[in-house]
Structure 1
Amino acid sequence: MSTSIKVLIRNAPKKDGTFPIAIRISKEGKSSYIHIGQSVKLEDWDAVACKVKKSHQNSVRLNNLIAQKFAEASDTSLELQAKKKDVSAKLVATKIKPKKGVTFFAVANEFVENMRKEGKYNRVPTDLSRLKNFREFLKTGDIDFSEITVPLLNRFRAHLKGDKKLGERTIVNHLILIRTIYNQAILGEIADVKNYPFGRRKIQIKIPQSTKIGLTKQEVEKIEQLDLSAVPKLNHARNIFLFSFYFAGVRISDVLRMKWSDFQNDRLFYSMGKNDKPGSLKIPAKVVNILNQYKNDEPGHGLIFPELKVVEDFSDQYTVARKISYSVKTLNKYLKKVGEMAKIEKPLTNHISRHTFGNISGDKISPQMLQKLYRHSSITTTISYQNNFIHKTADDALDSVLNG
């Protein structure tokens, strides 16, 4: 008896009132079902033609998916029958039934949960927001990796730019996230590399250059010379900013994690949190003045600065990262007031301490030494970063034309 394969919707509706689309494989009165991960309302299903009606806004995409799954079931059935005479409906279904987590958002949820476990607090809400935008654009509960095509991603890009009014860098970050999850699915043998929509002659991701502006030496001196003795919160915010600047723009997340034990033999020893790259720097005299202001503070996890001392379990990296995020917002609020008092018109945040070091160093320091100071893994990254602050050649070229 031959195997019968038919596309239908199941009788039991989901909570939202839609009916799951499935492929029924029957033989000798026994049936097995393969759900394709999509569902439709009863009025959007053509039971005679076994397809989604045009009344459904995603009818073309869903019908393409149905045709793909139906063809896969038919091919598998024929292949098994060629190898073995007695083929049951259950065996055909087992061969092509998807593994757990094969759909895009199933893998995406696992990806986000792994980030949460790794303590990447800032990434979790940001990537959840990007995934929400993708889901809303699709207008379906989930999507198979094979359905993520170049045309689909181009429409998504246009949607983010035209409907969401997002900037180019934000749009690129959405595509990077989708690509990362797709790559993870390929490594897990969940997605087929032949359907990969990124790369040459497909979706190419180019990160747009952003303008980086740092303070001048004179502006830093204005901040240093402020008398903030009567305003402890502003003084502390200034200390954190200058501490970062004095150590070549060490990231604020690393500054707040600094411990007294990191200072040995008049040197700072620490590994950068972003890439675990270790290094050592001598302690400038200006840093000693800052450290002396915290020597008599209440101890906590051996930390220098107070922000993370309130965290009970310092091994809980997600909680630590969340506390850092909150602290940075508070510190930046006070830094803004410091900038106003110093009559600095540029936006003053902890992040631009790194840009400030780059701006003041300009082309005075070799790229190789800057790479060491910045803890960059690649000299190319250093050169690209420092190019934001080197203007002499372009300025001289302009002068030669206008004043030559």
Structure 2
Amino acid sequence: MSSIKIVLRKKGLADGTYPVCLRITKDRKTKYLNTIFKSSEREWDSPSGCFNKNNANYIQNNRLLLKIKARALKVYADLEFEKESFNLAEFGQRFRVDSNPSNDAVFSFWEEIVSELKLAGRMGNAAMYEETMKSVKNFCGHRKITFQDITNTFLNKYEAWLRSRGGTDGGISIKQRTLRAMYNKAIERNIIKDIDHPFKTYKISKLKGQGIKKALDFDQVSKIINFNISKFPHLADARNYFIFSFYTRGMNYTDMMVLKWQDVDAKTISYIRNKTKGRFVITILPPVREILNYYQKHSLPTKYVFPILLRDGLTPSQIANRKKKTLAKYNRDLKEIAGICGIKKSLSSYVARHSFANCLKQKGVATDVIGESLGHKDLTTTQVYLKELGSNVLDKAVELLL
């Protein structure tokens, strides 16, 4: 048996009135949810569960009580439809979100996610969430918004606002993806329901990033491979990092920074990609072996392969700060190398990953194999087949670049 009623709860308040509550009874258990009203016994009609004529605004107040009860009935029916069983705590959570938008505040939840990411040591993700949150706050004029405010129209206006401030497709895409991830976390935690999800109609895929246009062809990569570091010793690390990334299927800077000697054996490098948590086992090709040998002689006495983190035991915050500083220098050095080599395209750390994919394509490797070698997870019909491919297939594809 279950029932939903509006009642005057006999729990007196300091001013002599009583709280008007929504009472839900299910499986012989009862839960009370406060409304915004309170009343004296003289103004309340218990049999009908509403205000009587002694209440000055009884008609208006009773209309709102009917809406509250109707909302409660809908929430109850939705839960019955969605789940085989649910408890009163779940009902209360769902009802509060529906009935009190202030509990649905976007920025307080967003700040909570940022704090959790920092606590978990995921400083890169935390920085991205924090940067996007600041951007959305500026767009909103620092007014409070709820999840119900995030609509297709809101997202399109935010995109236009970013473009008016020089935003590119790639940068806008990153911010919209971060906003979508935060929205999805709210759904996962039952803060909101997956109804009228704005990202079902606002398609981030329309934002075509410019990354692939920055990719080098193999002739250009060869210039960096053959770059004479003896004449420019201050650029040795930048050249080595770029070539190492290129020949390890586009390993990104973060993963290179924390790569440990224990991840390297006689024939392979094994690591888990920080961004996607996918595991990679990569055959060590001659250019990579040459670079590993170089750092066995020149690296610091730490557990890390590359002399980026200066000592062991750094905190996540210290690692994030070190990454920011060294990545900026790496990118500056790459631009200097590009100038010396006569490469007109903008050169940065991520270009090695784009160039790896572009050069495989130049060599005639199938697009699906390239996607698998990069660890992409968004392949559709080819994904089932590609899972059957062993690492040897991918390593042979990479060997075409030698």
TM-score tier (shorter): 0.5 to 0.7
Deviates more, 1:364-373 or 1:351-360: 364-373
Residues 162-311 of structure 1 correspond to what in structure 2 (within 5 A)?
162=164, 164-194=165-195, 196-199=197-200, 202-211=201-210, 212=212, 213-297=214-298, 299-310=300-311
* Cα RMSD for the two superposed structures: 3.8
- The residue type equivalent to 1:76 in the other structure is I
Q: Is the 8 A contact 1:150 1:203 kept in 2?
A: yes
Query: Distance in 2 between the 1:124 and 1:349 partners?
Result: 23
Query: Distance in 1 between the 2:243 and 2:286 partners?
Result: 12
1:169-188 deviation line (CA, Å, top 9, x unaligned): 43344433333333222332
1:329-368 deviation line (CA, Å, top 9, x unaligned): 1111112112222222222222111122222221522345
Any gaps of 5 or more consecutive residues in structure 2? 1-6, 9-34, 43-56, 73-94, 384-402
Q: Does 1:28 align with 2:20?
A: no
Query: Distance in 1 between the 2:243 and 2:312 partners?
Result: 24
1:275-323 deviation line (CA, Å, top 9, x unaligned): 222232222222222222222346444111111133533xx44432342
For 1:110, the equivalent position in structure 2 comes to 112
Shift of 1:261: 1.8
Query: Distance in 2 between the 1:111 and 1:346 partners?
Result: 37
Query: Distance in 1 between the 2:196 and 2:371 partners?
Result: 38
Shift of 1:138: 2.7
Q: Is the 8 A contact 1:311 1:320 kept in 2?
A: no
For 1:325, the equivalent position in structure 2 comes to 324
Distance 1:160 1:351, change over 3 A: closer
For 1:157, the equivalent position in structure 2 comes to 159
Distance 1:158 1:73, change over 3 A: farther
- Aligned-pair identity (%): 23
- The residue type equivalent to 1:203 in the other structure is Y
- TM-score of the two chains, using structure 2 as the length reference: 0.65
1:207-244 deviation line (CA, Å, top 9, x unaligned): 42234132233222322333222543301111111111
Distance 1:72 1:172, change over 3 A: farther
- The residue type equivalent to 2:236 in the other structure is N
For 2:140, the equivalent position in structure 1 comes to 138
Q: Is the 8 A contact 2:177 2:204 kept in 1?
A: yes
Distance 1:306 1:71, change over 3 A: farther
Q: Is the 8 A contact 1:121 1:322 kept in 2?
A: no
SS at match of 2:356: helix
Query: Distance in 1 between the 2:63 and 2:151 partners?
Result: 19
Higher RCO (C-alpha 8 Å, min separation 6): 1
Q: Is the 8 A contact 1:119 1:321 kept in 2?
A: no
Shift of 1:27: 0.8
For 1:60, the equivalent position in structure 2 comes to none
- TM-score of the two chains, using structure 1 as the length reference: 0.65
For 1:148, the equivalent position in structure 2 comes to 150
Distance 1:223 1:131, change over 3 A: same
Query: Distance in 2 between the 1:119 and 1:107 partners?
Result: 19
Distance 1:114 1:222, change over 3 A: same
Shift of 1:72: 5.8
Query: Distance in 1 between the 2:377 and 2:71 partners?
Result: 50
- The residue type equivalent to 1:310 in the other structure is R
Query: Distance in 1 between the 2:337 and 2:382 partners?
Result: 30
SS at match of 1:210: coil
Q: Is the 8 A contact 1:332 1:349 kept in 2?
A: yes
Query: Distance in 1 between the 2:172 and 2:63 partners?
Result: 35
Distance 1:231 1:70, change over 3 A: farther
Query: Distance in 1 between the 2:172 and 2:259 partners?
Result: 35
SS at match of 2:204: coil
